[in-house]
């Protein structure tokens, strides 16, 4: 079982409009609603790939109930969300069909009480006993300690469970110091962590800060990975137009899938890039175009070198 953690879960709502214009009324041509937050998006992609996945984090209020109801309709995903008093947030994505651009609006999450955080930690420790890998994903809701991910990384490592961390800001800085197996920042998050806007130098610095492997997302430029086994760059074969929301989460799913399958790093990266690109063709985050994925997988370019033993 792969475990994904989403402390700031959401109900993702995607609107499609013909053309998004400021200060104007718009007719929405299509609406989709999905359980959201980075870890839930990762879980849906993993389940579609055939993995057994358990999701945990927090859920509360009417929105939280909708999220959990929708999760029951997702084959392969087990709901282990911890109940809280506050209301789960909503995120709104507005897709402009004319340009292909997406505008994102994110509500704040519920405030988590100390007793609710303690209940989550107990549930997390129990889930680790049957996990083959764990992904810690997304922002921290109010009330959760800023060093929360560092503690969750240490718990996973104590249980001998490989852990991937995908967050930003101070939560990432503290989490890296706990020595996760993989971090997956985007270019901006990596620069904020290291102070360097040069990806090659920044990945080296991030490894020195504690991450065993750094996989940096460079947007349309694919992935740059620095690992104990070597350094690689994986790039998609073409630029795809669509909804990029969730592309990074699909890439995380590819990395986890390759990890539990014990694939060599170049194959993990190819899977991650192909899934990220195929997710752009899907209508909402947490989904991917299967035909597109299978076609793209064989065309991802992976270059680099193995580190000498």
Concatenated DSSP letters for 221-251? G-EEEEETTEEEEEE-SS---S--TTHHHHH
Q: Any bridge partners for residue 303, and if so which?
A: 233
Q: Which of 236, 223, 243 is nearest to 288 (CA)?
A: 243
CB proximity list for 216: less than 8 A, separation 6 or greater: 184, 185, 186, 187, 190, 199, 202, 203, 223, 224, 225
Interatomic CA distance for residues 149 and 121, integer angstroms: 11
- Give me the catalytic one of 12, 166, 249, 289: 249
DSSP string covering 140-186: PPTTS-TTHHHHHHHHHHHTT--EEEE--HHHHHHHHHT--SEE--B
Burial of 2 (0-12, 13-18, 19+ CB in 10 A): buried
Within 8 A by CB and 6+ apart from 152, the residues are 5, 124, 136, 163
Asked whether the beta carbons of 166 and 184 are under 8 A apart, the reply is yes
126: which residues sit within 8 A by CB, 6+ positions away? none
Q: Is 160 a catalytic residue?
A: no
Rounded to 10 deg, the angle between the 169-177 and 148-158 helix axes is 30
Token representation of residue 208: 């020195």
Q: Work out the end-to-end distance of the chain between its first and last CA atoms, rounded to an integer number of angstroms.
A: 32
Q: How far apart are CA 308 and CA 229, in angstroms?
A: 8
- Residues with a catalytic annotation lie at 249
């Amino acid at each position: 079982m792969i475990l994904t953690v989403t402390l700031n879960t959401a109900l993702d709502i995607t609107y499609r409009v013909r053309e998004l214009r400021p200060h104007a009324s718009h007719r929405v041509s299509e609406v989709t609603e999905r359980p959201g937050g980075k870890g839930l998006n990762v879980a849906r992609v993993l389940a579609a790939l055939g993995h057994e996945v358990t999701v945990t984090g927090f859920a509360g209020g009417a929105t939280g109930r909708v999220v959990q109801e929708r999760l029951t309709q997702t084959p392969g995903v087990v709901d282990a969300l911890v109940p809280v008093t506050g209301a789960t947030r909503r995120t709104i994505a507005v897709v402009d069909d004319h340009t292909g651009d997406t505008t994102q609006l994110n509500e704040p999450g519920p405030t988590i009480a100390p007793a609710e955080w303690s209940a989550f930690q107990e549930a997390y420790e129990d889930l680790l006993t049957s996990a083959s890998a764990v992904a810690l994903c997304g922002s921290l809701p109010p009330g959760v300690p800023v060093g929360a991910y560092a503690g969750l990384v240490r718990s996973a490592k104590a249980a001998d469970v490989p852990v991937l961390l995908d967050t930003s800001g101070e939560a990432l800085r503290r989490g890296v110091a706990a020595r996760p197996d993989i971090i997956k920042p985007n270019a901006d998050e990596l620069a904020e962590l290291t102070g360097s806007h040069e990806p090659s130098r920044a990945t080296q610095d991030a490894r020195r800060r504690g991450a065993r492997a750094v996989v940096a997302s460079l947007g349309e430029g694919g992935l740059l990975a620095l690992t104990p086994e070597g350094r690689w760059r994986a790039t998609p074969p073409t630029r795809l137009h669509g909804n990029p929301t969730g592309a990074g989460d699909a890439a995380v799913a590819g990395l986890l899938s390759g990890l539990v399958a014990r694939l060599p790093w170049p194959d993990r990266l190819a899977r991650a890039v192909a899934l990220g690109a195929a997710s752009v063709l899907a209508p909402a985050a947490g989904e991917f175009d299967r035909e597109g994925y299978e076609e793209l997988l064989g065309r991802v370019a992976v270059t680099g070198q193995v580190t000498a033993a």
